[in-house]
């Protein structure tokens, strides 16, 4: 990143801008469509939450459930493969059912999984199944979020809009841990 551009963005902003507004402008620039900002916020918050919790869930599975590392690895692999399929199907399904129901279902079920993990006790199989479902539900909500981008911005701005959402997700992963 060119330091001059960064400094120019920080110093040439109106005095009445809040810290958050300056940070937003620094990261995404000044030309992000207003309708896209809620999607960026959800993407940022979701990736912060996921990247904060997911690594520690593996430690929990090994330390508290006494799950073998190889079994945990298989659980993560199954979850990743299912998440890929769910994301693909969820994107297409959101065209027919609508974005909001799938976002609500995906993020809602993803929020329930940690609560269900509290009731697992020492049942390894149940705990690992729930760990595998966590990215599946996140993928469902994320696919509908991504599909919403095309609904919110004009076609000539799609590339920049998808890039902005990707920046939000990557920034969240960096902030989370």
pLDDT tens digits for 15-38?
556 776 777 776 776 677 788 888
**E strands, the chain, where?**
none
Helices and strands per DSSP (H, E), number in the chain? 7, 0
Please tell me the distance from the alpha carbon of residue 107 to that of residue 177, in angstroms, as a whole number: 20
Q: Name the average pLDDT for the chain.
A: 84
Indicate the pTM of the whole model. 0.74
Say which residues have a Cβ less than 8 Å from residue 157's Cβ, sequence separation at least 6. 33
**E strands, 80-157, where?**
none
Is residue 64 helix, strand or coil? coil
- Does residue 107 have a pLDDT over 90? no
């Amino acid at each position: 990143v060119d330091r001059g551009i960064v400094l120019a963005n920080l110093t040439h902003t109106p005095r009445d801008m809040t810290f958050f507004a300056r940070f937003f402008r620094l990261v995404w620039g000044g030309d992000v469509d207003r309708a896209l900002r809620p999607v960026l916020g959800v993407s940022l918050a979701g990736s912060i939450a996921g990247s904060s919790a997911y690594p520690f869930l593996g430690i929990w599975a090994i330390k508290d459930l006494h799950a073998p590392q190889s079994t945990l690895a298989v659980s993560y692999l199954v979850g990743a493969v299912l998440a890929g399929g769910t994301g693909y199907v969820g994107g297409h399904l959101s065209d027919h059912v609508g974005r909001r129901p799938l976002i609500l279902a995906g993020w809602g079920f993803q929020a329930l999984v940690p609560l269900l993990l509290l009731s697992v006790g020492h049942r390894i199989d149940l705990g690992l199944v729930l760990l595998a479902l966590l990215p599946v539900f996140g993928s469902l909500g994320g696919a509908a979020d991504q599909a919403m981008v095309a609904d919110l911005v004009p076609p000539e701005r799609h590339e920049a809009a998808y890039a902005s959402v990707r920046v939000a997700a990557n920034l969240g992963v960096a902030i989370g841990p």
